[in-house]
Amino acid sequence: MLAHSDSGTGTPLVLLHAFPFDRRMWEPQAAITNVRLVVPDLPGFGQSPVADSTVDTMADAVAETLNGLRIDSCILGGCSMGGYVALAFARRHAHRLKGLILIDTKAEPDDEAGKANRQKMIDAASTLSASAVIDGMIPKALCEATRTNRLDVVEAVRRLGAAQTAAGIISAQRMMRDRPDSRPALGAIRVPTLVIVGEHDAITPPAGARAMAAAIPGARFVELKDSGHLPNLETPDAFNAAVVDWLVSAVQLQAPNSGP
C-alpha cells in the first residue's frame, strides 16, 4: 500500500500529485468537505519507497491502495504526472471510477525533444540537489502573478520539491519519458470528467487541455484565471469551487463545501 492520508467521510476523492512533489501538495483541498479525501504519495515520493515504475504499475499501486482501504470505486484526480497515472488507471481499472479530474496534464506522449529533456534531468538529478531541480522548474510551473504576489506559494512549492530524493526524481523521469499515448483511450472514458487548466500553464498549456476535454465524451473544461501549472496551490479557492461545482452538478454528490 502506498503511504497516504485519509480524511473525511463520503464518496472517496483520490488525488494524485504532480512531479516532483508528494501528497502535501493537496493541503488546500482539505477545505473540500463531504468527501473522503485520500491522497497517496506516488512511488518514489514522500514516504512511498522508490520502485522501477511505469504509469501502469503506478496506477496498479493506487488500485492496491484502494483495496487496502476497502474502497471499491472513487473519483480520481491527478495533476500533471498524477494525471498521466490517472489516465492509466482509467484504462486499467475503469470499473473502479465514478469520475475523473484531469488537472494541468496531457494525454499525448513525449516527443523526441521532450525525451531528450528527460535525459538531461536524469543526468542532472544524479549530481544536482533536489532543490536545484525544483528551482529550475519554478519559472515554468508557477505563473508570473504567483511568482510575484504569492511568495508563500513559491516557498511551499520549493520546500515540497526540495524534500524529494534523486532516486525518486530519476525513476519518475524514466516513467514519464516512457509513458504511452493515452489519446486513443480518451473516447472510451465513460464517467463524468472534469479537465482543469491554469490559463498561464507553460508546461501543459490550455490548448492541449481543451483538445483533451473535447476527446472525452461529455467532459467539462475549466480554465482558471491567474494560474499556471499548479492551480490547486496558485488559486486554491477558484480550484476548489470548480471541483465542488462539478461534483454537485456532474457527479451528483451532495453539496460539499469548497472552504471559506
Q: Which is nearer to ligand MLT, 166 or 251 (CB)?
A: 166
Residue 129 neighbours by CB under 8 Å, 6+ apart: 162
Which x/- pattern over 165-184 shows residues binding ligand MLT (rule: CB under 6 A)? -----------x--------
Bridge pairing between strands 4-7 and 35-40 = antiparallel
Q: Which is nearer to ligand MLT, 22 or 194 (CB)?
A: 22
81 is a contact residue toward ligand MLT (CB under 6 A): yes
Give yes or no for a cis peptide into 236 (omega within 30° of 0): no
18 is a contact residue toward ligand MLT (CB under 6 A): yes
Q: Which is nearer to ligand MLT, 25 or 253 (CB)?
A: 25
203 is a contact residue toward ligand MLT (CB under 6 A): yes
Q: Are 83 and 90 in contact (CB under 8 A)?
A: no
26 is a contact residue toward ligand MLT (CB under 6 A): no
Q: Find the binder of ligand MLT among 53, 65, 80, 146 (CB under 6 A).
A: 80
Q: Which is nearer to ligand MLT, 160 or 253 (CB)?
A: 160
Q: Which is nearer to ligand MLT, 150 or 229 (CB)?
A: 229
Q: With residue 154 as reference, give the H or E element that holds it.
A: helix 151-162
Q: Are 249 and 255 in contact (CB under 8 A)?
A: no
Size of the site for ligand MLT (CB under 6 A): 7
CA pseudo-torsion sign 210, 82, 21, 34: positive
Q: Which is nearer to ligand MLT, 11 or 84 (CB)?
A: 84
Q: Report which residue type is found at 206.
A: P
All 3 cell numbers of residue 223?
A: 480554465
> In whole angstroms, how close is the CB of 33 to ligand MLT at the nearest point?
27
> In whole angstroms, how close is the CB of 141 to ligand MLT at the nearest point?
7
258 is a contact residue toward ligand MLT (CB under 6 A): no
Q: Which is nearer to ligand MLT, 12 or 78 (CB)?
A: 78
Report the alpha-carbon distance of residue 125 to residue 54 in Å, rounded: 19
Nearest Cα to Cα of residue 212 among 115, 84, 25, 125: 84
> In whole angstroms, how close is the CB of 164 to ligand MLT at the nearest point?
12
Residue 112 neighbours by CB under 8 Å, 6+ apart: none
Q: Find the binder of ligand MLT among 4, 13, 19, 186 (CB under 6 A).
A: 19
Report the alpha-carbon distance of residue 17 to residue 80 in Å, rounded: 8
Report the alpha-carbon distance of residue 100 to residue 59 in Å, rounded: 14
Residue numbers at the binding site for ligand MLT (CB under 6 A): 18-19, 80-81, 176, 203, 229
